[in-house]
Amino acid sequence: MTDKTTRSLICLLTGHIDHGKSQIAEAITETQIIKKEAGSITQKISAINASKETIKKICGNLLTKVNLKMQVQGLLLIDSPGHASFTHLRKRGGSIADMAVLVIDINEGIKPQTLEALDILKRYKTPFVVAANKIDLIHGWSKKSDYFVQDIELQSDYVKKDFNKKFYELVGSLFNNGFNADRFDKIEDYTKQVAIIPISAKTKEGLPELLMVLTGLAQKFLEKKLEINRESPAKAVILEVKKEKSMGTVLNTIVYEGKIEQGDKLVIGGIDKPIETRVKCLFSCEAGKPKKKNEVYAASAVDIIVTESGDIFSGMPLRVANKNTEQIKKEVQQIVDEVIIETDSDGVVVKADSLGSLEAITQLLKESNINIKRASIGSISKKDIAEAKSDKNKLNKVVIGFNVEPIESPEVKIISGDVIYKIVEDINKFREQRKREIESEELKTLTKPFKIKIMPNYIFRQSNPAVVGVEVIAGTLVTNIKLMKKDGSVIPDVSTIQEQGKSVNNVGTGKQVAVSIKKVVVGRQIDEGDTLYSDIDEKTFRKIKDMKKLLNREEIEVLKEIAEIKRKQNSLWGV
């Protein structure tokens, strides 16, 4: 027998740090989140259940005015961290959310984490609305009622003008980032435009309209998605793992499908294999104190106390598996294996603290065309360092740690941190720098382009060997490199260089030195005023051409001249 009903709407609160996500969650559920967090910045993802009754109470008579009969069971609010270092949790939240509220401070507009959030929502195709928060900070704003539409009409002309300026700057910024948006009460087609609801989480102005829009959109466009079988085995995702002395392992979890009961057998995704455990106790995460439950239905935030278990990590999928346990194990581990990457090909080694963070960092690395040899959850180990050290490609001798304890190693490059985009930026910088170092070392072994001129009246010896004065026009003159004349003929190399009576191996642009050249006679093979080039073979030319960013402007010009001389004899030389 099945029990079809409509579940709560899973709603993600996301956006830039300190734009008011936690304040909105507090205003709706009348709980305190911010004071619990260090520095008033949400450090962990929080999930709170807001009942249908709570939403009706906040909306007041607004639902009746717009003739909206509430069918959803309530809201499951996911208050995700705003700091860039917790992008992976927004991403995990985005992947299970029905809708999202992108919170933007109307006074500050779009910021870096706002753009990150937009990218995540776009990637997961999550429908969203914008809460333009902190209207109470607009100079001269005065609260008249809980409803924004009433309040804006009662503000002074100066305040209205300031509001409209900031509001349409926000509309313009969203448009520039690919989103057509407008005020919620001016939108005719919600499938073509993003609704912006101006609010103040502090004074609760606009909060009724925000909840009304969320509820209305959910019931109009997500009716089928919200319909569930209450009696089906629960599917969930773990947001946080806590170890409590009095209770043991506590899993802060979002149940997004089905039902979970005390005593249920659970299968949880593991690094190497699925983990089996049982539910000892359930606590529903609601406004006020957590409530002990015998059973919990989707969609709901719940703390699950489990029996003996292995290493459980945040972001892992969780399933009730009283029946078909082996099949569920395969399904769960398949989800993990899509993220846990291990191949025999070359690449960097990646470690992260949770499945969500691992998924986020690996995806960004792939987008940056960085190969991944192995990616896993947990601290950086000696095995990780040894594996990175063994890679034949010097660019891949790297271990990346995201949200894990940093360590030092003289053997490989360790790049770690808690800001995902900073890590990707750092590895790209490292690889560029390492590539330049490798190319510079290789360039030292190659014949580089240089150009010299035999100076008139500076013939010190005509032959055996010829000793002449030359000026270095471009590049660096070095010994033991064959020379080439403008007609393409090759002459023996410079055997010695004398600068102010001292022997040197190389000399740079602008210098005038005496050189000795074997097996030539001045007046036959060479003469006063001759311009000579380094004789570069075709294979070396191609290599240098690929590394020409390491050459200066004069050397690049000389390289072109050498190619022109060579191509008079072979039009395809060096091509």
Does 81 score more than 90 pLDDT? Answer: no
Residue with tokens 């008011």: 20
**pLDDT tens readout for residues 514-554:** 999 999 999 999 999 999 999 999 999 998 888 888 889 99
For all residues of the chain together, what is the average pLDDT?
Answer: 87
Residues near 358 by beta carbon (within 8 Å), at least 6 away in sequence? 88, 315, 339, 340, 350, 352, 375, 376, 377, 402
Residue in 300, 256, 226 with CA at minimum distance from that of residue 96: 256
Does 451 score more than 90 pLDDT? Answer: yes
Residue in 28, 35, 30, 1 with CA at minimum distance from that of residue 13: 28
Largest CA distance in the chain: 109
CB 90 within 8 A of CB 12: yes
User: Hey, what are 543's tokens?
Assistant: 């290599």
User: Hey, what are 495's tokens?
Assistant: 């055997």
- Whole-angstrom distance, CA of residue 336 vs CA of residue 342: 12
Sign of the torsion formed by the C-alpha atoms of 180, 181, 186 and 190? positive
> Which pLDDT score, from 0 to 100, does residue 4 have?
59
- Whole-angstrom distance, CA of residue 361 vs CA of residue 419: 10
- Whole-angstrom distance, CA of residue 129 vs CA of residue 194: 6
> Which pLDDT score, from 0 to 100, does residue 39 have?
39
- Give all strands (DSSP E) within 186-234, no chain letters: 194-198, 227-229
Task: Report phi then psi at 442, rounded to 5.
Answer: -70, -40
Query: Domains of the chain, with CATH numbers?
Result: 4-228 (3.40.50.300), 230-337 (2.40.30.10), 348-444 (3.40.50.10050), 451-567 (2.40.30.10)
Mean pLDDT of 283-304: 83
* Least confident among 62-66, 78-82, 560-564: 78-82
Does 217 score more than 70 pLDDT? Answer: yes
> Which pLDDT score, from 0 to 100, does residue 3 have?
47
How would you class 505 by CB atoms within 10 Å of its CB: exposed for 0-12, middle for 13-18, buried for 19 or more? exposed
Q: In what order do the strands lie in the sheet with 128-133?
A: 46-51, 74-79, 9-15, 99-105, 128-133, 194-198, 181-183
CB 400 within 8 A of CB 423: yes
More confident residue, 472 or 83: 472
* Least confident among 283-297, 369-383, 450-464: 283-297
**pLDDT tens readout for residues 86-131:** 333 343 444 678 899 999 999 999 988 788 788 878 877 889 999 9
CA 362 from chain center: how many Å?
9
> Which pLDDT score, from 0 to 100, does residue 288 have?
55
Residue with tokens 């734009």: 19
> Which pLDDT score, from 0 to 100, does residue 341 have?
66
> Which pLDDT score, from 0 to 100, does residue 38 have?
37
Does 37 score more than 60 pLDDT? Answer: no
- Whole-angstrom distance, CA of residue 217 vs CA of residue 127: 9
- Give all strands (DSSP E) within 426-536, no chain letters: 451-461, 466-474, 477-478, 483-485, 490-491, 494-499, 502-504, 506-507, 512-517, 531-534
Mean pLDDT of 134-141: 95
> Which pLDDT score, from 0 to 100, does residue 560 have?
95
Rg for the chain, CA atoms, rounded: 34
pLDDT band of residue 40 (cuts 50, 70, 90) is: very low
Does 84 score more than 50 pLDDT? Answer: no
- Whole-angstrom distance, CA of residue 195 vs CA of residue 425: 34
pLDDT band of residue 45 (cuts 50, 70, 90) is: low
Length of the chain, in residues: 575
Task: Report phi then psi at 443, rounded to 5.
Answer: -65, -30
In the chain, what are the helix, strand and coil shares in percent, each to the nearest 5? 35, 30, 35
More confident residue, 422 or 477: 477
More confident residue, 78 or 133: 133
The pTM (predicted TM-score) of the whole model is 0.67
Does 79 score more than 80 pLDDT? Answer: no
Does 154 score more than 60 pLDDT? Answer: yes
Angle, in degrees to the nearest 10, between helices 21-29 and 52-59: 100
Q: Residues of the chain with pLDDT > 90: what percent?
A: 52
More confident residue, 393 or 308: 393
> Which pLDDT score, from 0 to 100, does residue 32 have?
53
Cβ atoms within 10 Å, residue 138: 20
β-pair type (259-261, 494-499): unpaired
Does 228 score more than 50 pLDDT? Answer: yes
Instruction: Output the DSSP codes for 25-39.
Output: HHHHHT---GGGSGG
Residue in 81, 27, 31 with CA at minimum distance from that of residue 290: 31
